[in-house]
Amino acid sequence: MPLSPSQLTRCWTEVLELSKLAPGENVLILTSQNSDPRVVDAAARAAAALQARVVKLDIAPNWDTCEVGADPTVVSGASPIDDDPMALAAMKAADLVIDTVFLLFTPGQRAVLESGTRMLLAYEPPEVLARVMPSPDDRRRVLAARDAYARGRRITVTSAAGTRLTASIGAYPITAEYGYVDSPGRWDHWPSGFVARLPDDGTAEGVVVLAPGDIILPFKNYVQSPITLEIERGTIVRISGGLDAEFLDTYLRGFDDPDAYAVSHLGWGLQPKARWTSLGLYDKAATIGMEARSFYGNFLFSTGPGGSRRTKAHLDIPMRKCSFHVDGQPMVVDGDVVAPDQRVDGARPQ
């Protein structure tokens, strides 16, 4: 059954309270042609009920010749606000921006956050938002994972399927997503629940084997046959396997950019409310796969932008049944979160 407007408004009220929205604060809801009117309306009602000042800013849709399909994550690093001083000024004047358009890795987004505005992205269907509600305990566990990751200098990822990946870490900051924005200049995404960071340039080495059941985003497909990615000096140098491998390689070659093959952020999922199976129950156009990125115990492998790289190509690949170690200390073992301050009693690997 669909979520009712009143139920979705209650969800927004809870998330905005977690985001410390105070009476009299300025909330800007960023919309475009791809925004879900149900999400926009509920966010506006909840913010107004909390006595915030609410305005909506509708911007032109973004399109790029590299885009295939309608998923906004296909092309990263650019948005209509980047060269729009009026939109940027309005967003910087807000205390909280609710993004229902999908801005990510863009110069405009960075400028808004640097001004102190906090920004919350909400793009999934209402039913997903309601099922994967954030909580203070999610925040606690994600920040514990962030701290463990920050202390490390080297990671190792393995799996029974054949993954053997190592990389040095420390040069780049950590993304820690728990689903709400409770401090100035913070960006987050509801729903979510994971940590990730770029490995040091040129240090990722080894083999990543995508096994049946792993998920490639933005394809929104479950892998059907093994794909072997051979990685040297931080770049995928060979992709081998069957049809799935050929499809993946051909897709990346379509960007005509060597950086499309670069290893990007690496991390692990911490959200027990997110379901590995969810993606198989939605039409592809309805979701961008945040449950897949966040489900408990996944190894989140990605390719594309990061550091000095500005490639438009970006893949997120949540993998199951992997083990993730930081300086030899296990965070995840065979798809199960084992670090005591990160795990959830009773949660099972998916």
Q: CA-CA distance, 230 to 236, in Å (whole number)?
A: 6
- Indicate the pLDDT class of residue 45, thresholds 50, 70 and 90: very high
Paired residues of 157 in beta bridges: 165, 324
Residue 64 has pLDDT above 70, yes or no: no
For position 163, what pLDDT does the model report? 98
- State the burial class of residue 167 (Cβ atoms within 10 Å of its Cβ: 0-12, 13-18, 19+): buried
Q: How far is CA 296 from the centre of its chain?
A: 14
Q: CA-CA distance, 190 to 137, in Å (whole number)?
A: 15
Q: Quickly tell me which residue has 């994550």 as its tokens.
A: 73
For position 189, what pLDDT does the model report? 98
DSSP code of 279?
G
Task: Provide the residue type at 192 as one letter.
Answer: S
pLDDT 10s digits, 201-246: 999 999 999 999 999 999 999 999 999 999 999 999 999 999 999 9
Please give the share of the chain, as a percent, with pLDDT higher than 70. 96
For position 259, what pLDDT does the model report? 96
CA distances from 217 to 52, 188, 279 (A): 36, 19, 10
Q: CA-CA distance, 209 to 350, in Å (whole number)?
A: 18
For position 76, what pLDDT does the model report? 67
103 or 223: which carries more pLDDT confidence? 223
SS3 assignment, position 112: helix
pLDDT 10s digits, 123-177: 999 999 999 999 999 999 999 999 999 999 999 999 999 999 999 999 999 999 9
Domain locations along the chain = 5-123, 133-337
From the list 91, 59, 56, the residue with the least C-alpha distance to 72 is 59
Q: Quickly tell me which residue has 């475009």 as its tokens.
A: 32
Fold of the domain spanning 5-123: Rossmann fold (3.40.50)
pTM, 2 dp = 0.95
